[in-house]
Amino acid sequence: MPSTLLTRALERRANIWSQMQEIQQRAEQDGRDSLTAEEREKWDRAEADLTEVSADIERMERAARLDTVRRDEVVVAGGRGPEGGEDREADQDAAYRDAFATFTRRGMSGLDNEQRQLLMAHHSEVRAGATSPGSAGGYFIPTETLNKITEAMKAYGGLMGAVNIITTSSGNNLNWPTNDDTANVGAILAENQQVTEQDVSLGQKTLGAYTYTSKLVRLSLQLLQDDVFNVESWLTRKLGERIGRAVAAHLATGTGSSQPEGLFTNATAGKTGAAGQVTSVTYDDLVDLQHSVDPAYRMNAKWATADQGIKVVRKLKDTQGRPLWEPSVQAGVPSTLLGSPVVIDNSIPVPAAGAASIGFGDLQAAYVVRQVAGGQMMRLEERYADYLQVGFLGFLRLDGKPDDTAAFRVYKHPAT
């Protein structure tokens, strides 16, 4: 259920948008080629209000997504399994969660024998190319806490919530098969003739597992010892936000060298703007970009751009003078552009000379993210003992690559 504040903001945006359309329709009905000075002033004021309320809606929706993973209570779906199996599993999860929280606040010395054994059963060593049991690693973050990291990544990078995500138990290189059979067609077979051969050509991409770290966070012993607030929930959320911001940048524009290759990095230009359009785009450009993607992919296609790109697009109108951008008036439903949903990710390049600022296509087919299950957190007690502080760092292993390159195209601004 959306909050009352969010509902009101959505209604306000719809009203502002309606007022702007009324101004435009009035000028069209009068047969005028331009707005009056008074109408222009009202339009500019309404557009400023629309930008402001849209930003507020985005903030509230992002906060709502994060809030769903801040809960400390774990709801177990379903009833009692055979011989209470599901209840036992829930009890084990709760026990590990309590042990992890105690470890966060008090370290290994604050655990009893049972809690220590629970943590050691979920301990791993981190070294180049592998994750294996050992004594110099971190403890796996509880499942519901790991979800906080995943949700933070989605909230801070729109692409992460739209592309294809696969999860593996280990970080060994994963060979990902590819195929483009679109040039091959069947044929009519005459009577008593042999069928001709046409093999399927498979390619291959390799998905690794880059280790993303939150960097080190130091907390005072006083804060850890006080029970004023849920420090373990707050801490893991902050570690997740840091990792999320780093991942978001690479999923959009990563170089592919010692980091993921971004969706926009080497994407094919479906449309390049005319000379002079270094920060602009036209209605015809967007139509051309849409149709540069094969209809096979357009059914599930989405636009992807930064907030600055949306700002440019919102000013465009079709040949009938109707705005291309249609703001959403329902919580959780994205705004649309030429009938397709819009994903906003501020890691995507902004409109500029030579930049690819707008993308269109089936994001699920176009890009794949490989994430290794089991984000971890380390606690460093001795390093900052003389400061009465404890160090924490989180890490998560992940890689991403363009998958089906035919499923996605970009609009590229000219160099000049």
In tens, the pLDDT along 27-51 reads: 878 888 778 888 888 888 888 888 8
Q: Tell me what pLDDT residue 77 has.
A: 30
Say whether 267 sits in a helix, a strand or coil. Answer: coil
Is the pLDDT higher at 204 or at 147?
204
Q: How far is CA 311 from the centre of its chain?
A: 20
Is the pLDDT higher at 28 or at 303?
303
Q: Tell me what pLDDT residue 249 has.
A: 93
Using the CB atoms, write b or e for 347-366: b if 16+ within 10 Å.
bbbebeeebbbbbbbbbbbb
Report the run of H or E that residue 305 belongs to, with start and end. Answer: strand 302-305
C-beta of residue 405 within 8 angstroms of C-beta of residue 203:
no
**For 42-64, what is the mean pLDDT?**
80
Q: Two tokens at 212?
A: 């993303």
Task: Give the C-alpha separation, 57 to 65, whole Å.
Answer: 12
Position 17 pLDDT exceeds 50: yes
Provide the pLDDT confidence category of residue 342 given band limits of 50, 70 and 90.
very high
Provide the pLDDT confidence category of residue 315 given band limits of 50, 70 and 90.
confident
First to last CA, the chain: 48
Task: Give the C-alpha separation, 186 to 189, whole Å.
Answer: 9
Provide the pLDDT confidence category of residue 409 given band limits of 50, 70 and 90.
very high
- Within 10 angstroms of residue 406's Cβ, the number of other Cβ atoms is 16
Is the pLDDT higher at 146 or at 247?
247
Provide the pLDDT confidence category of residue 255 given band limits of 50, 70 and 90.
very high
C-beta of residue 161 within 8 angstroms of C-beta of residue 185:
no
Q: Tell me what pLDDT residue 151 has.
A: 65
Task: Give the C-alpha separation, 375 to 92, whole Å.
Answer: 19
Instruction: Select from 410, 265, 252, 58 the least CA-distant residue to 244.
Output: 252
Position 133 pLDDT exceeds 50: no
C-beta of residue 148 within 8 angstroms of C-beta of residue 236:
yes
60-74, 96-110, 394-408: least confidently modelled range? 60-74
Q: Tell me what pLDDT residue 320 has.
A: 75
**For 12-39, what is the mean pLDDT?**
83
Provide the pLDDT confidence category of residue 128 given band limits of 50, 70 and 90.
very low
**For 378-387, what is the mean pLDDT?**
86
Report the run of H or E that residue 211 belongs to, with start and end. Answer: strand 210-213
**For 52-77, what is the mean pLDDT?**
58
75-79, 100-104, 272-276: least confidently modelled range? 75-79
Q: Report in angstroms the alpha-carbon separations of 276 from 285, 311, 329, 409.
A: 14, 18, 35, 21
Q: Tell me what pLDDT residue 331 has.
A: 67
Say whether 247 sits in a helix, a strand or coil. Answer: helix
C-beta of residue 91 within 8 angstroms of C-beta of residue 118:
no
Domain 140-179+202-416 listed as CATH 3.90.1690: yes
Task: Give the C-alpha separation, 262 to 252, whole Å.
Answer: 4
Torsion of CA 68, 73, 79, 81, to 10 degrees: 110
The per-residue pLDDT for range 134-154, each reduced to its tens digit, is: 334 566 677 666 666 666 666
60-64, 252-256, 371-375, 393-397: least confidently modelled range? 60-64
Q: Is 113 exposed, middle or buried (0-12, 13-18, 19+ CB in 10 A)?
A: exposed
Q: Tell me what pLDDT residue 227 has.
A: 64
